[in-house]
Amino acid sequence: MKRNFDDSYPREVQAKAKKNLVWIVCVSISMMFAGLTSAYIVSMGDSFWVKVDLPKAFFVSTAIIILSSIVLIGATRAAKAGNVSRARLMVVTTLLLGIGFGVFQFLGYKALVKSGAHWVTNVIVDDGRYGDYYEIKKGGEYLTVDNNQFYLNDKKIEGDDKKNLQAFAVQFTVPSLSDLKGKNINYGEFTLLYKSEPLTFIDGEFIRPNGERLEELDFRRLRDLAQNVKDDRADFFMQGEMGKDFKLYYNGNELDYKERTLMYKGKPLSANLQNKLLRGNKDMSTAYFYVITILHLLHVVAGLIMLIVMSIRSYTAENAYKMAISLGAGSIFWHFLGVLWLYLLLFLLFIH
């Protein structure tokens, strides 16, 4: 029935109808992403905005999708030239490259999450900020914090020293004080101080020098600090150093960070803006990033399904001309996804 319907129209009309349908879909998708990127820019105004470097995996995926488009162009030309076997091989190759694009996209998301850029996350550490209530000594020397990094004797703590610090902190990440009953806390070479006084751990309780026991509220502050240390953060939820691994903007202006103080236009951030940051302490820029890129990835999944269908049809098509019609319409959508990704990449590279 379908064969009779298709054959009732000239081949040129069939090809044009299929291409027009694909173009309508592409225009609709373009309007959606234009709205999202516009909303991104508008949302940046009068708000705090975190900007991070894009993972290398996203650039690898860009090279892959460009290569896939080139291969698909070759497949279309081969079909038009009547070289069916070559066209089949190149369509299947395009499919494999498309899968590779998706794989590297997921690797990019994994790298973002590892750096602290979650779907929706806080900007600055408020609960459990090091130095507010608790401090740590190692070998009799205080640990200090500078630009989101822990230091000991002016040397950044990293490698095995960082792992030892995190192993010490993870002991305090239990839900409540009662969960420490019957457990031993291994201080090792570390000393834990509460309000500049060393805490000892005896019979499942933290004891201050005057004999007072640590209350549940104070333990929650310790637990928050321990979680921050475990997750490799000090003053910001993003990992790394501000200005190097990530940047914080307000109203389009980059903020500086000196002596654990945010600086806006060369002056300490006003109390009003500080309170605003604490009240709206969410990194919406990363949420936008995930929405935009994952939506594109979902369209790529649709493109991969299309490539699977095209690969099957390349083996079932009655002749090279019908294969060329199918490839001509399908390739428009795949090329469009590649151009759309390049636009999004440039947008995120220079705006995010």
Looking at the fold, whether 108 and 155 belong to one and the same domain comes out as no
Does residue 324 lie in a domain region?
yes
Looking at the fold, whether 15 and 115 belong to one and the same domain comes out as yes
* Cα–chain center distance at 96: 24
**CATH code of residue 79:** 1.20.120.80
Look at residues 178, 212, 235 and tell me which one is the last residue of a structural domain: 235
Look at residues 202, 235, 268 and tell me which one is the last residue of a structural domain: 235
Does residue 156 lie in a domain region?
yes
Looking at the fold, whether 54 and 101 belong to one and the same domain comes out as yes
Looking at the fold, whether 226 and 141 belong to one and the same domain comes out as yes
Distance CA 64, CA 143 (A): 45
Mean pLDDT of 20-37: 90
Does residue 158 lie in a domain region?
yes
Task: Check if the beta carbon of residue 336 is closer than 8 Å to that of residue 19.
Answer: no
Give me the domain span that covers residue 139.
Answer: 125-235
Looking at the fold, whether 116 and 129 belong to one and the same domain comes out as no
Which of 42-46, 88-92, 115-119, 259-263 is predicted with the least confidence, judged by mean pLDDT? 42-46
Does residue 39 lie in a domain region?
yes
Looking at the fold, whether 176 and 100 belong to one and the same domain comes out as no
Q: Where are the beta strands (DSSP E) in the chain?
A: 48-52, 134-138, 141-146, 149-152, 155-156, 190-194, 197-198, 200-202, 205-207, 246-250, 253-254, 256-258, 261-264, 267-268
Looking at the fold, whether 148 and 199 belong to one and the same domain comes out as yes
Does residue 246 lie in a domain region?
no
- What pLDDT band is residue 122 in, cutting at 50, 70 and 90? confident
Does residue 140 lie in a domain region?
yes
Q: What percent of the chain has pLDDT over 70?
A: 93
Burial of 311 (0-12, 13-18, 19+ CB in 10 A): middle
Looking at the fold, whether 154 and 180 belong to one and the same domain comes out as yes
Looking at the fold, whether 225 and 169 belong to one and the same domain comes out as yes
Looking at the fold, whether 84 and 141 belong to one and the same domain comes out as no
Give the tens place of pLDDT for each residue, 91-116: 999 999 999 999 999 999 999 888 88
Looking at the fold, whether 105 and 155 belong to one and the same domain comes out as no
Give the tens place of pLDDT for each residue, 323-333: 777 777 788 99
DSSP 244-289: TTEEEEETTEEPEEETTEEEETTEEPPHHHHHHHHHT---HHHHHH
Does residue 276 lie in a domain region?
no
- φ and ψ of 289, to 5 deg: -55, -50
Q: Is the pLDDT of residue 84 over 50?
A: yes
Q: What is the pLDDT of residue 12?
A: 65
Q: What is the mean pLDDT of the chain?
A: 87
Distance CA 319, CA 307 (A): 18
Looking at the fold, whether 149 and 59 belong to one and the same domain comes out as no
Total count of domains within the chain: 2
Residue that wins the pLDDT comparison between 7 and 112: 112
Q: What is the pLDDT of residue 71?
A: 95
- β-partners of residue 134 are 194
Does residue 28 lie in a domain region?
yes
